[in-house]
Amino acid sequence: MRITSMTIVLGVALFAAAGCTGDGTATPPAASAAAGAPAPSPSIPPSAGPSPTGDTAGGKAACTAVNADIQTTLTKVAEAEKIGPPAGFNAVSAQYSAGAAQIYSHVIDAPKAISDAGRAVADAMGVVADKYVDNSSKPDKAPLNAAITAFKSACGL
């Protein structure tokens, strides 16, 4: 259920990012260029390439964004845990799911090592979120903590 919801949310986000409004009036970029309109400039600057430390500009941005997502998610989870079961477990699950979705959105264009480490964190958050839904007990967070440690190592944080 959670995967289906996350897939729908990500699909809608990608649909909106592609400029589709659903009213059937979207003009493909090739058609607007052929009509004499100036081609839109890309909103994301090209990567500056590897720096002397081996990090790329996209990797640094992804690391910063995902690290902020992790901290925000853990803060919100701590607040939700104070509610207590059963409502608190649902709130905790929702916070982990939202954090995972944010992380996925930030690692999509990151360099492979950073993307893989970020996805591992998001996957671990998803597993914890799914286990909180059953309301029987608090799940083991050791795999999530290990994934966060591996992510920080991949980013040099």
pLDDT at 24 over 60: no
Rounded Cα distance, 82 and 85, in Å = 9
Q: What is the predicted pLDDT for the residue at 76?
A: 94
Read off the pLDDT band of 136 (50, 70, 90): low
Residue bearing the bigger pLDDT, 117 or 132:
117
Rounded Cα distance, 62 and 56, in Å = 10
Rounded Cα distance, 113 and 58, in Å = 12
The chain-wide mean pLDDT, for the chain, equals 73
Nearest to 40 by CA among 70, 19, 57: 19
Identify whether the C-beta of residue 120 lies closer than 8 Å to the C-beta of residue 149: no
